[in-house]
Chains A and B, each alone.
Chain A
Amino acid sequence: MGGTSKTWLRLGTILLLSLSVVLSGCSGGNAKPSGNNTPEQTATGNNDGKVEPFEISIFIGEAGQQPTPDNKIYKKIKEETGATFKFEFLAGDIDQKLGVMIAGGDYPDMMTGNTKLTAAGAYIPLEDLIEEHAPNLKKHYEKYWNMMKDPNDGHIYILPNYGVLNADPASNWYAGPAFWIQKAVLEDAGYPQVKTLDEYFDLIAKYKEKYPTIDGTPTIGFEILNYDWRNWSLFNAPQHLIGHPNDGGVVVKDGKAEIFADKDYAKRYYQKLNEMNAAGLVDKEAFTQNYDQYMAKISSGAVLGMFDQHWNFQTAEESLITQEKLERTYIGLPLVYDTSIRDHYKDRPALNLNNGFGISVNAKDPVKIIKLMDRLIEEDWQKILSWGIPDEDYYVNEEGRFMKTQEQRDNFNDGTWKLANKADAWFKFAPKMEGYFSDGNSTDAAAQPEEFKAGLKPYDRQFLEAYGFDSPVDFFSEAPENDIAYPAWSVDLVDGSEAKIVNTKQNELSTKYLPKAILAKPADFENVWNEYVSEIRKLNIKAYEDRINEVLQWRRDTWSVK
């Protein structure tokens, strides 16, 4: 035994020594070998030596995947501009990562927007750089210039990635909040117009009575999800029912924001849910299920309706499509309390503040970076970044319209393919054109009307025809012009401030009391509700509302020059 253990140890020691020799080679201090993700190190030949290669290190504040080293779009960018990107994606807790980045002052050349980084002074002001070196960007953001300014010091640090529109966008796809209902329920009832909450639940109740099971599974009338950060399904409906757009936790009335959680119009909604629960329409497990269980129920086809944002349950809907249960997919309804209220679910995209790229104080050559961004916002590059390479990723028909074959469409939904053929890591956060190109094509393939029609299933076509609609978006009222300060949910509550703490506590109360109220015996509802309201009123809600109103007011003052 002793002998073998000695050999074992000796072997280990040798291994250890050899390893340390090998590894000391690759640790060698902090000097970064440049461009370790991009195999081509030398400048490309066919540019008459004009292009000087340079590398930009970029921190992306959310998860993502490294593009492949031979990604065709990045290759093209490098050929023309000399730029290569070195991305660092976040996987893990952003607060922890930012804490050490800020404390150590260890910033790469560019970072995606984050209020913590702005507060720490990690970005450089961009207005002079843009004035001097970036005429295209200047033009791109012209109408939005004042809105981009930081409320605290008036500088522009972040270039918003979404919300700069050159036309009212014609969309065929609604990703936002709504009361969703299975198409089969509407079909069964003879395609009625459903406007109010009461009509909606009547339909569901009737259908459930008629079909107590769907494909062998007990029918679930109404589903609610309140898991982790996905809480809007339970929290957000009341503001929409009284005809307001999504402002998060507040309703903005006559320019003043106030919370709605404790208001009577909120009570009316939860009381309705309480009655529906007593009638057996609400899923018994609604408040204990996790996200996966919620998705499983929806994709079983047995859930008749829910309030949610479309993108949140979209994967489940895709599963229904693959199962060929198209009648079990959903249509969004902009419900209100009564027909005198005009629905305002669909809104116009607002400028995506605090999102997009900023240039860090550590950037070696900010001018080069801004010039690169200025080049890439031009239309020829925007087409490449959004649609891809003509004849490879899409084709142009005789009328000059951009179209895709089914294979090309599938490619665009294939994450693996995109890593090699799309520059998404960059494009997602970069300034971009939204609306139409100068030739009339949509900037976004999904919004191209011909593309939408070509992808439409016969069942859906028939369904829409029954209503006389072109797309599911037609169920919603046309979005009116946004209030200049809209949306209130994008107000930065400031970490650690009383406003933010109060907001956290209020959410906690809602998480605790709303399920209780809904599950209570109808006779007890009143008691639970009153307890909930009195608990909310113990909080310093005013601090929260004041902060929002302060920023909204600031926006109205500064943004008015539109």
Chain B
Amino acid sequence: MANHSTTPRPATVAAVNRRIRRGRIEPIIFHTFNTIFMVVLVIVTLYPFLNTIVVSLNAGNDTIRGGLYLWPREFTLQNYKAVFVSGTIYNAFWVSVARTVLSTLLNLFLTTMLAYTLSRREYVFRKPITFIFILTMYFNAGLIPGYFLMKDLHLINSFWVYVIPSMISAFNMIVIRTYIGSISESLVESARIDGAGDFKIFWQIIFPLCKPVLATIALFVAVGAWNSWFDAFIYTSSRQELSTLQYELMKLLSSSMNANNNPSVAAGAGMTQGAAAQMVTPLSIRASVTVVASVPILLVYPFMQKYFVVGLNVGSVKE
């Protein structure tokens, strides 16, 4: 390909001129447009999160009036205090970290391994296994049968219920398989000629080459594991020490909503008690809970981004 530059194709003067003009002006127009677009995008997508932070730092009694945008009117840390005062969230944080790390590693390894086998066109069971996995995306047996299965497997009130039922995702498998499809077949073939078995090819050649897509999948799995609360709610809710951060925060939020929606509780406060000391409202708790829950996992993406570099696997790509 390098010899292209030494032998330019014949071109008319007009065409060359056009190219030069385009080469100077067009990128400027494009970049201006693109930058403006990105700035707008940044503003529009940053706003909701920023607004949530602002609400979380504003006194609940004041937030209820609405009209809060980019700056707190009555600054307070009360909403965070309400989150951290509960002693249970520290343990829950570590449970969440453990399940997230474990799920991510297991998913990456097992899903990629499966994706590799199902990318091999010569594999005799390729089609049936692919089909069986894909179908799982489109049905759900329901809550109660699932509960019975976990019960029979002794996973109720066990940490492993966070990890074992979700070790492989069909969606992620397909995404990885598609990516593997873009990697040069010749690599696999030359390794095979050198006598490498499928596992070795997978582990030593394919796995490292899949880094960009694995970064994506790691992000998907980690975010999913971190954000899930339903399993804690259904399977482990009677063991406090197994509770996850998301579930603890959800309990906190529900209880603040419940306290507000309850006539018998409300009757205690109000006019009789003078200016109510109730600084914390569901609205503001929701904001602080959101910030506390999402900031740890938000940090994952920037870390993953370095694997998204174009042309990372130069030389290994097809053709």
Contact = CB atoms under 8 A, between A and B. Distances in A.
Contact of A413 (B106, B269, B283): B269
A155 to B, nearest CB: 26
A409 B102 contact: no
Contacts of A68: 87
Interface stretch (A316-324, A372-380, A526-534): A316-324
Interface string A1-41: 11001100100110110011011001101101000110000
Nearest to A330: B271
Nearest to B106: A16
Nearest to A317: B270
Contact of A19 (B102, B241, B265, B274): B102
Contacts of A36: 239-241
B127 interface: no
A420 B250 CA distance: 21
A65 B143 contact: no
B252 interface: yes
A12 B203 CA distance: 14
Interface in A304-363: 309-312, 314-319, 321-323, 329
A27 to B, nearest CB: 4
Contacts of B257: 63
Given A30-B157, A318-B278, A96 B262 contact: no
B274 A103 contact: no
Nearest to A66: B88
B8 interface: no
A20 B272 contact: no
B65 A415 contact: no
Given A19-B101, A19-B102, A65-B86, A455 B274 contact: yes
B227 interface: no
A296 B65 contact: yes
Q: Which size bracket describes the interface of B in this complex?
A: 35 or more
Contact of B65 (A314, A319, A406, A409): A319
A89 interface: yes
Given A66-B88, A409-B274, A19 B98 contact: yes
Given A26-B159, A162-B264, A173 B65 contact: no
A57 B239 CA distance: 11
Interface stretch (B22-30, B131-139, B189-197, B229-237): B229-237
A63 B254 contact: yes
B318 interface: no
Interface stretch (B13-21, B45-53, B144-152, B180-188): B144-152
Q: Which one of B106, B148, B266, B273 has the highest number of Cβ atoms from chain A below 10 Å of its Cβ?
A: B273
A15 B241 CA distance: 22
A154 interface: no
A37 B251 contact: no
A293 B66 contact: yes
A175 to B, nearest CB: 5
Contacts of A299: 64-66
A89 B275 contact: no
Contacts of B151: 104
Contact of A457 (B66, B274, B280): B274
B62 A319 contact: yes
Q: Which size bracket describes the interface of A in this complex?
A: 35 or more
Interface string B256-298: 1111111111111111111111101101000000000000000
B61 interface: yes
A409 B273 contact: yes
Nearest to A37: B240
A300 B102 CA distance: 49
B64 A315 contact: yes
Interface stretch (A126-134, A279-287, A445-453, A545-553): A445-453
B105 interface: yes
B65 A63 contact: no
A91 B251 contact: yes
A419 B87 CA distance: 11
A30 B158 contact: yes
Interface in A159-179: 162, 172-173, 175-176
A311 B258 contact: no
Contacts of A30: 154, 156-158
B3 to A, nearest CB: 28
B34 interface: no
A413 B276 contact: yes
Contacts of B105: 12-13, 15-16
A478 to B, nearest CB: 19
Interface string A68-99: 11000000000000000000111110001101
A292 interface: yes
22 contacts: A1-B312, A12-B105, A16-B101, A16-B102, A23-B159, A29-B154, A37-B240, A63-B251, A63-B255, A68-B87, A88-B238, A97-B233, A106-B156, A310-B266, A315-B64, A315-B281, A321-B276, A416-B85, A445-B268, A446-B272, A452-B272, A455-B272
Given A104-B148, A318-B276, A451-B272, 7 more contacts: A15-B105, A292-B283, A296-B64, A311-B262, A319-B64, A412-B268, A446-B268
